[in-house]
């Protein structure tokens, strides 16, 4: 299965962001991708965390969801929207929902971000729990290329979530990592999740400066089950392409059967 991790520099105009996303999904499709993942907040990177409340969508309708369904149907591919703010019914807070659509344009999975980012360091102060409700359940997506584990950004720091997926061929990590945390930890964490789960990881990132002065790290990448970065993009909008090779997965697991060596204590 050929996959694409799409890197964006989203801003405060949802329409403009969706037009850029459409071009990049089209580029991925032209390169033969059968699955494309867009970064977290692909539809809006506002100046303030509360800006997402103004563009939140009811589950099942809204411009961001319509865009994802149309892109999947038009290009006959799986399209994963890194996050869409869905109305939660709780004033002032939304679900940060990853939404996946199949080649017929039907929604095939929804995952609500479980782990909410909090970071304070000098000029930077983030606390997602102020505007987001945490999800409760891990979710996997079935595709012809194998099972896909779904996660979002800060989830990357919690290996127990990824272990709960079981046997997956691919893990997706749409993200909007800050430059500070990304420079320190991004590649290390992505490669670790690939190595310990012996699967591919596709990390689709926001990159560059955004309204309000926030700077994201970029460096979208696809990593193989041995932890090798097989494709990457440091900066700027674009598409990272690679193939999920079942023979590569099988070979790594045969030579180093770490998943088989998990003890009973590891599964509880």
Closest Cα to residue 4, out of 141, 234, 205? 205
Closest Cα to residue 3, out of 34, 24, 30, 31? 34
Confirm whether 20 is a catalytic residue.
no
96 within 8 A of 142, measured Cβ to Cβ: no
Confirm whether 128 is a catalytic residue.
no
Q: In Å, how far are 23, 59, 110, 123, 202 from 82, measured between CA atoms?
A: 16, 15, 10, 26, 12
Catalytic pick among 57, 128, 140, 153: 153
Sign of the dihedral through C-alpha 251, 152, 187, 203: positive
The helix or strand, by DSSP H or E, that contains position 56, with its residue range, turns out to be none
Catalytic pick among 40, 52, 128, 140: 40
Catalytic pick among 113, 128, 140, 199: 113
Confirm whether 113 is a catalytic residue.
yes
Please give the positions annotated as active site.
40, 113, 153
């Amino acid at each position: 299965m050929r996959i694409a991790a799409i890197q964006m520099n989203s801003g405060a105009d949802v329409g403009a962001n969706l037009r850029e996303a459409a071009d990049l999904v089209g580029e991925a499709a032209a390169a033969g991708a059968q699955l494309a993942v867009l970064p977290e907040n692909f539809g809006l990177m506002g100046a303030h965390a509360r800006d997402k409340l103004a563009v939140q969508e009811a589950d099942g309708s809204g411009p961001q969801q319509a865009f994802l369904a149309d892109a999947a149907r038009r290009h006959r591919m799986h399209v994963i929207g890194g996050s869409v703010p869905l109305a939660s019914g709780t004033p002032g807070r939304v679900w940060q929902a990853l939404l996946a659509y199949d080649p017929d344009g039907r929604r095939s999975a929804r995952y609500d971000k479980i782990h909410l980012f909090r970071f304070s360091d000098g000029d930077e102060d983030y606390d997602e729990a102020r505007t987001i409700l945490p999800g409760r359940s891990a979710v996997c997506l079935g595709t012809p290329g194998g099972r896909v584990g779904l996660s979002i950004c800060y989830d990357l720091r919690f290996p127990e979530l990824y272990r709960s997926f079981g046997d997956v061929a691919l893990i997706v990590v749409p993200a909007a990592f800050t430059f500070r945390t990304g420079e320190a930890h991004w590649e290390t964490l992505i490669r670790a999740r690939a190595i310990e789960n012996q699967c591919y990881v596709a990390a689709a990132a926001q990159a560059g400066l955004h309204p309000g002065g926030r700077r994201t790290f970029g460096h979208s990448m696809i990593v193989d089950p041995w932890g090798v970065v097989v494709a990457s993009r440091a900066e700027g909008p674009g598409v990272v392409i690679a193939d999920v090779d079942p023979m590569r997965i099988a070979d790594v697991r045969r030579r180093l059967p770490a998943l088989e060596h998990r003890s009973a204590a590891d599964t509880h």
